Amino acid sequence: MSRRFPIALAVVLGIAACTDASQAPIAPDAPREGASATAGAVMAERVTAASLWNERTRAILGRRGGSSNNAARLFAILSVAQYNAVIAAEGAKARGVHPSVAGAAAAAAAAVLMARYPAEQNFIESQLATDAAYFATLPSERDADFPAGVAVGRSVAAAVLAYAATDGSDAAWTGTIPVGPGYWTSATPTTPPQEPLWGAIRPWLLASADQFRPTPPPAFGSPEFMDALAEVRLFSDTRTPEQLAIAQYWASGYGPGGPAGYFGSVARELAMRIHLDERKTARLLAVMHMAIMDASIACYEAKYLYWYVRPHQADLGITIPVNRPNFPAYPSAHSCLSAAAAGVLAAQFPSEARRLHAMVAEAGVSRLYAGLHFRFDVTAGQELGYAVAELALRLAPAGHRAIALD
């Protein structure tokens, strides 16, 4: 377990009590017209390189596409690189050098994105140049050396990218889909399942992909199975406009980057609301995105262990108003990833816990409304995701410790 960070109970990221219960995030982009220079500086200080590049990554994913799992992996690599770059820059300051912490975070993200999307070079370089001008105006960065920070960020990103290149995500599947009652079937006989080896990728936090493996789902044709199937069929037969809207929203409403992109934006808004600095924002995003990535690994390990049938395959009368995923049902990936993200964020922002858990609940039931999952798929996914979140919080780096890559 040496490659994970040093164990430290860190449930609150150094955040004091979060007393703002407002549901509307405070816009950080610019001061109000007529606001004082001091007020404008305070507003500007809410913007960190970590949060800016989280949103820029989402914009690139909107143009380039890709699966939710691949987005989760990218966000995890990027956020770990940013956090470790911030720690490295702060360490250099402690030795009397003054690299820009924001520059380190920005350059780390830019290097990761450049490696993944070389066609986005112009956009990435233009954003890095914008950051150099912008952060130079902030009090926290006034005496910092932005180019020196960029050098730190690029060096750290190279190490993180080298580590990620050995995670096994490039393995080729040569297996076969099992057949028989109760097994999931692909869209066509010649269409391979989506990402069947995802569960074999090296996790960031888990001791193994099966650490939180859910118990086997109900046997096909058992009373429990038939009751669950009847529930989904009833939703299909009586689907209300509201249920349809919920099903369609959570099928595509995550937006670019899937759950990782969606909850990254939620984290960004919450971090800016209480003025988290560069290190705390980078740490928040790193912990959350590693939890999301590991939840996806654990989820797919179970999916391709059980190869469990989807409701609409067991009852052809069930209608599907959204796209049909090309992978097995149990457990629900929506629930695995959403619960992992919300579990981390709810611990960091207690005043938002109810809203965050409500997102997970609605995302889960949306898959019943859509005819794609049984209720036990959703329950198992939520339990798995929350367990990964709890582990991430327990292993979160404390103080000025980098995330180990060994």
Average pLDDT on 213-228 reads 98
What is the tens place of the pLDDT at every residue in 227-251? 999 999 999 999 999 999 999 999 9
Name the residue with higher pLDDT: 4 or 19.
4
What pLDDT score does 21 carry? 29
Query: CA 295, CA 298: separation in Å to the nearest integer?
Result: 5
Is CATH 1.10.606.20 the classification given to domain 201-395? yes
What pLDDT score does 30 carry? 29
The answer to whether residue 3 scores a pLDDT higher than 80 is no
Encode 49-83: b = buried (16+ Cβ within 10 Å), e = exposed: bbbbbbebbbebbeeeeeebbbbbbbbbbbbbbbb
Asked if 302 and 331 count as a contact pair (C-beta separation under 8 A), the reply is yes
Rounded to two decimals, what is the model's pTM?
Answer: 0.89
What pLDDT score does 134 carry? 95
What pLDDT score does 124 carry? 98
What pLDDT score does 97 carry? 83
Average pLDDT on 144-167 reads 97
What pLDDT score does 45 carry? 53
Q: Is the dihedral of CA 331, 334, 335, 337 positive or negative?
A: positive
Give the chain's mean pLDDT: 89
Domain ranges of the chain: 37-164, 201-395
Q: What share of the chain has pLDDT > 70, as a percent?
A: 89
The answer to whether residue 326 scores a pLDDT higher than 50 is yes
Q: Using CB atoms within 10 A of its CB, is residue 23 exposed (0-12), middle (13-18) or buried (19+)?
A: exposed
What is the tens place of the pLDDT at every residue in 60-78? 999 999 999 999 999 999 9
Query: CA 400, CA 17: separation in Å to the nearest integer?
Result: 21
What pLDDT score does 55 carry? 96
Query: CA 43, CA 20: separation in Å to the nearest integer?
Result: 16
Residue 262's pLDDT band (cuts 50, 70, 90): very high
